[in-house]
Structure formats: C-alpha cells, structure tokens
Amino acid sequence: MISTVRTVEVHGHRGARGLRPENTLPGFVHALELGVDAVELDVGLSADGVVVLNHDQVVSPVNLSDTGPARPGDPMYPYVGKAIRDLRLDQLTTLDAGVRRPVSDDDPFVLTQLPLPGTAIPTLAEACALLSRAPGVDLAVELKTDPDWPDADVAFFAAAVAEVLGAFDLTRRSRMLAFDWRVLVEARRYAPDAGRVALVETKTLVPGTRWLAGAEPGDPARAALDVGATVLSPERVLTTPELIDAAHSLALPVVVWTVNEPADMERLVACEVDAIVTDYPDRLRTVLAAHGLPLPRPFTRTLLQRL
C-alpha cells in the first residue's frame, strides 16, 4: 500500500507583507529564509512594456513614495497617483517601495513590517532571477487587470508575463493568477505548462459579473474548471467546507487567501484546504508544525547566493 502524507502549502503573500515591504526583493528573500512553498507576487505592465511588481494599477501612497523625477522637468512627476501603465520603467524605479505609509491608524502591517528605505520596485525579471535560485519554491504571479481592459491588452500582458517566466525556465514552477478570468484563457495559450489560478472574491461572484470571462458565478468551482483553471483560490470569507468539497470533487486544489490569524489557519487546516496564502508565513508554519504537517525548506542567504 502506498501511503500519502497530507500537506498544506505555505504561500507568502506579496513575499511576506506582514514582515517586510511588499512585492520587493528583500521581502522575497525573507519569505525564503522563513520557508515557503510559493511566493505570491503582483505584476503590472509599464508604459514601455516592462513587467514590474506592484499590487495596484495606480501608484499607491500607502507603499510607494516619490523620490524625484526620472529626468529634470518630467511633466508626469510626481508619479504617486499615476497609473502604472502610464509610467515608464525609469520613472517607476525612482519610487521608494521600502516604507509603508498607511492612510489610517488601524493599518495592521505598520506595527509588524520592517521598513527598508531605499528599496526599489523590481521587475518580474529581477524577481525571477532571485527565485530561480530557490529550487522547489513556486511563483504565484497575479496579473492585475480588470473587466474594463480591452481583450487585446489582456492578451498582450499575459504574453509578456509568459515570456519572462520562460526566459528564466520557470514556467513549470509558476502559476498565473487572476480575478479577471480572461487572463487564465490567455495563460493557457501563452504558457500552457504553467498553473492557472482562478481568484474569486465576493464582488466577482455577483449576478451579471464581468470578471469571470463569461462564466456564471453560481458554481465557482465548475466555472473555474470550465474556463481552464487548474486551481481555485477563494478569499477566506468565501471558503466553506462545501466549496472545498465542490472543488476537490473536480480535482481542483483550493488555495485560500489571505489568512493571517492563527485561529483562521486552524479552521482551514481542519477543512483540508491545499494551501494558505498569508502575510505571515512564520505564523502559518507554527500552526502547521503543531499539527505535525510537513514544513517547506528554509533557505539561508548564503545558500541563495551560492545556488
């Protein structure tokens, strides 16, 4: 008889957002040092066609700040508040991504995130160069689009991401994520060997939704499978035993986001989810260890430099 060991994967959200600046190389290094199965990151496309890391489609004052124009008299400066798609790479890389500046006093990450002033926005290529040195760790790349994007722009973006992943021989270690399920259709075309993760949240499952590439929202697991997804990724509040069972009945793994409280982690482990996305990989590792579940391998900085 072949025995199987149950696992729950640890996915570091935006690297380890609760501990280090989000979507940055130092954040990814810290996640790797803690030990994760996958690093989740968000990407956009600059005005000159470079895939860059950032969560929002607009430069947010919460996690980014201006340091000066890319060139004297730049009419686009200041860059905070501008759309990523309207800014060139040289403009985006002037931004400081290392200090969180919350718009309210109840931001949960201000007390736990270590500021790293002077940290730049990386490109996807730079992130791939780092993560290629961590064998066994997957890349979960979320493409930030919305239903207002023309189909041609979605296709161009997906192709650009697929090209970078392929250039670093990381396609088979990668998953392309999206709330806008048109991205998954294009991912199947441009990166058929990559995973395709159907993200869902409450607002994308309303009647008449434009987020699901024409699929009906009544049965999210079946809709995700029909659009070509290989993974269903619901937000925490949507993740019920019934949804998990429905996905598993279709052989779709369930990756839940974003779970930061140990009590919620405990509940989801008991519900037999396949992976948990968290801003605090250290907390999730503690919960998994208490259940006797396998933990992903940590990397030391020395090992990352040597590999």
302 has a pLDDT exceeding 90: no
Q: What is the pLDDT of residues 74-102, one digit of tens each?
A: 999 999 999 999 999 999 999 999 999 98
Query: What pLDDT does residue 169 have?
Result: 98
Residue 306: pLDDT band (50, 70, 90) is low
To the nearest whole percent, how much of the chain has pLDDT over 90? 93
Domains, the chain: 9-50+137-306 (3.20.20.190)
Computed over every residue of the chain, the mean pLDDT equals 96
pLDDT in tens, 14-43: 999 999 999 999 999 999 999 999 999 999
User: What's the mean pLDDT in 207-232?
Assistant: 97
User: In this predicted model, what pLDDT tens digit does every residue of 3-18 receive, in sequence order?
Assistant: 466 899 999 999 999 9
pLDDT tens string 119-142: 999 999 999 999 999 999 999 999
pLDDT at 304: 72
pLDDT confidence tier of residue 307, bands split at 50, 70 and 90:
low
Report pTM. Answer: 0.96
What tokens appear for 50 in the block?
């470079």
pLDDT in tens, 49-69: 999 999 999 999 999 999 999
Residue 299 pLDDT > 90? yes
Predicted local distance difference test score (pLDDT) of residue 1: 40
Q: Give the tens place of pLDDT for each residue, 270-293.
A: 999 999 999 999 999 999 999 999
**Mean pLDDT along residues 206-233:** 97
Mean pLDDT, range 196-214, rounded to an integer: 97
> Which residues on neighbouring strands pair with residue 40, listed in sequence order?
140
